[in-house]
């Protein structure tokens, strides 16, 4: 087997970018010229991205970003794959690079204390620490840390309401508990820990580099991670050493297929799964069927087909 030819780089940085709108066009042009694909989000509060392509091309994009003094210390995570995980390149302008929906939350000034992967096990094994998984319910469903609380949220913007209602975060002893939070790559925890500090939690910690860094750095025999980690690309999930996992993706809702989903009468390849079947119209399903047909034809001809978008279900992703 030939060595993996496609490099995936994930990165983010909270930094004030007053000219973020003007950055879009030259960044998109560079990525397209280098045949780099993926998604880059730009906002006043910073940058958030996962891109993929040939190693030299991806590193050229990273070098371009780091040539700006504001992004000179931009950190990224790498993984390799045999096949490209993205089919398009998009650079989008956003109000937030990760949507929490709470004004006045500044990760650059209020985020919690970083904990390195090597020290994470000791922290979350402390019985006085409340461990919170800040990810969406479908992400938690396929893997999480032992003992973590699942807030059962469908989007990150639901987390503030959960924090206000969570009994485990109560003050039975008259003092707010120590809180440890984690997410896929660390970006959501920059905001969630800043949120906690804004609400008066003094001892708030988060996993530096997120689950992905933990899975990369901590040997399986020492790990407190259970299951797989959902990732937002064609790999669907990864395990220790960031090896792609066994999960498949529903092409309609872009969420991992649940156990037994393929055997359900509500599952139709490329069209729906039990999780999203009730949330798409017949017109959306028909559109998805046509896209699936075109994709299968293109595959039979050994051609790439990206076509129109899959129908977007009316559910929070």
Tell me which residues are annotated as active site. Answer: 183
Question: Residue 250: CB partners within 8 Å, gap ≥ 6?
Answer: 256, 257, 261, 272, 273, 275, 276
Which SS3 state, helix, strand or coil, does residue 141 take? coil
How many angstroms separate the CA atoms of 299 and 270, rounded?
Answer: 14
Euclidean distance between CA atoms 63 and 246, whole angstroms = 34
User: Beta strand pairing status for 229-230 and 237-238?
Assistant: antiparallel
Residues 210/216/221/226 CA torsion (nearest 10 deg): 40
Rounded Cα distance between 70 and 191, Å, is: 20
Query: In the beta sheet, which residues pair with residue 130?
Result: 179
Report H helices in 87-150: 107-110, 117-124, 137-140
Strand 113-115 and strand 204-207: pairing? Answer: parallel
Could you tell me which residues come within 8 angstroms of residue 152 by beta carbon, excluding any fewer than 6 positions away? Answer: 137, 162
Instruction: Give the H or E element holding residue 282.
Output: helix 282-300
Burial 130-163 (b: 16+ CB within 10 A, else e): bbbbbbbebbbbbbbbeebbebebeebebbbeeb
What is the b/e burial string over 262-295, where b = at least 16 CB atoms within 10 angstroms of the residue's CB?
A: eeeeebbebbbbbbbbeebeeebbebbeebbeeb
CA distance 17 to 21: 9
């Amino acid at each position: 087997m030939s060595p993996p030819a496609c490099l995936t780089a994930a990165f983010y940085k909270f930094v004030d970018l007053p000219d973020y709108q003007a950055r879009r066009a030259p960044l998109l042009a560079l990525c397209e010229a280098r045949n780099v694909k993926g998604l880059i989000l730009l906002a006043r509060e910073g940058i958030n991205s996962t891109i993929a392509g040939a190693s030299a091309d991806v590193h050229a994009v990273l070098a371009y970003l780091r040539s700006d003094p504001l992004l000179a210390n931009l950190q990224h995570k790498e993984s390799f794959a045999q096949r490209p995980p993205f089919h398009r390149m998009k650079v989008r302008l956003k109000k937030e690079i990760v949507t929490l929906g709470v004004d006045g939350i500044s990760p650059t000034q209020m985020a919690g204390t970083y904990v390195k992967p090597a020290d994470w096990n000791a922290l979350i094994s402390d019985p006085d620490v409340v461990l919170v998984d800040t990810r969406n319910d479908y992400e938690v469903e396929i893997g999480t840390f032992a003992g973590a609380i699942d807030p059962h949220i469908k989007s990150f913007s639901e987390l503030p309401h959960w924090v206000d209602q969570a009994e485990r975060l109560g003050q039975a002893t008259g003092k707010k508990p120590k809180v440890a939070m984690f997410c896929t790559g660390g970006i959501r925890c920059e905001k969630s820990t800043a949120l906690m500090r804004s609400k008066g939690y003094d001892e708030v910690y988060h996993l530096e580099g997120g689950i992905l860094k933990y899975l990369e750095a901590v040997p399986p025999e020492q790990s407190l991670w259970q299951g797989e980690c959902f990732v937002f690309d064609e790999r669907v999930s990864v395990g220790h050493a960031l090896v792609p996992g066994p999960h498949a993706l529903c092409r309609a809702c872009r969420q991992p297929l649940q156990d037994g989903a393929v055997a359900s009468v509500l599952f139709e390849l490329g069209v729906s799964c039990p999780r999203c079947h009730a949330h798409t119209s017949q017109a959306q399903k028909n559109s998805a069927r046509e896209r699936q047909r075109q994709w299968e034809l293109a595959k039979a001809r050994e051609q790439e087909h990206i076509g129109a978008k899959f129908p977007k279900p009316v559910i929070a992703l």
